A and B are shown apart, each in its own frame.
Chain A
């Protein structure tokens, strides 16, 4: 039983680390910033799950499980936010190779928004509410 658990721990840890290795390879091989974001932000979801599972079995203790669940949960909550923020600003700068995209259904929205002045400077009035006329 002990041997079986130790082998399981080894497999889980190695698979978890493999996810990080693949993330590194992805960073090198993917063509542009947006595709690289996939490699840079995602493997931790699975990689950490495997590493944490291995760690919990290795320590043979139920007391650490809530801490590991907490750490994994925090990763789940924060990773999408960072991916979104980097992706959003990357899309609006030169770093995203937009011409290589198969299709782009956001560009016309961004172009439209960039064409209108920021809200607050000039009243963007469609109906002409009484507030804006006096």
Chain B
């Protein structure tokens, strides 16, 4: 018997359910990114993006989505292609830099490598942003998510090469910078405005 007496903030723990506890099917408007992805998988595997194959792919995608329904992913309704591209290029650069760093640690420091488990409270309320921040920071060598506190949007992560409290603060600022970039790319309008006012007029150029 699920407990219905949620605090207002805990409601999103069951955000796939509405207030009466009924799970709704995702609508086509919520599901089109998933359909597009399935269509891409279909085309890529056939190595054929011709019209006929695409039409058949759409039919198969609709069939799969209706046979195996998933809870809807709540999107923010805002996407900025320029910040997405910037985020992707920055991400590749970070992966290169951090790979060299971890390789250096493996070859030179070895057993003397110290690390820490740090808590990073995020500003966002959105599950999607928390999940994406976790993914991005895990893919960049040097950190990975151990645990998530969903009700307070706190990530607990393992961070390599931490030897002083200053390193801890630097790591925390780095994660919040990833969050800033993601909110600028796909965050909701409210969160975007909040980030803008937090970081001042030249928020775009801010390093952190």
A residues with a Cβ closer than 8 A to B are 19, 22, 25-26, 29-31, 34-35, 37-39, 41-43, 45-46, 49, 63-64, 66-67, 69-70, 76-77, 79-80, 83-84, 87-88, 91, 100-107, 109-110, 129, 131
Contact = CB atoms under 8 A, between A and B. Distances in A.
A106 B147 CA distance: 8
A104 B117 contact: yes
12 contacts: A19-B99, A31-B112, A34-B158, A38-B141, A49-B92, A70-B41, A70-B45, A84-B144, A101-B114, A102-B114, A104-B117, A107-B117
A14 to B, nearest CB: 14
A92 to B, nearest CB: 9
Given A46-B95, A70-B41, A22 B116 contact: no
Given A26-B106, A84-B134, A131 B5 contact: yes
A101 B117 contact: yes
The 6 A-B pairs of least Cβ separation, nearest first, read: A80-B138, A66-B44, A26-B106, A29-B110, A42-B141, A105-B119
Contacts of B112: 31
A102 B134 contact: no
Given A46-B96, A46-B99, A29 B111 contact: yes
B147 A88 contact: yes
B156 A83 contact: no
B204 to A, nearest CB: 25
Interface of B: 3, 5, 40-41, 43-45, 47, 49, 92, 95-96, 98-99, 102-103, 105-107, 110-119, 134-135, 138-142, 144-147, 149, 156, 158, 160, 162-165, 167-168
A38 B116 contact: no
Most buried by A among B49, B96, B138, B164: B138
Contacts of A105: 117-119, 156
A69 to B, nearest CB: 7
Contacts of B43: 66
Given A43-B141, A66-B47, A101 B116 contact: yes
A31 B144 contact: no
Contacts of A79: 138-139
A87 B155 CA distance: 13
Nearest to A41: B144
B147 A83 contact: no
A93 B184 CA distance: 38
Given A103-B117, A103-B162, A45 B44 contact: no
A108 to B, nearest CB: 10
Contacts of A46: 95-96, 99
A102 B111 CA distance: 14
Given A84-B145, A102-B162, 19 more contacts: A22-B107, A25-B107, A29-B110, A30-B105, A31-B112, A35-B113, A35-B160, A38-B158, A66-B49, A70-B45, A76-B139, A83-B138, A91-B147, A101-B114, A102-B167, A104-B116, A105-B119, A110-B147, A129-B5
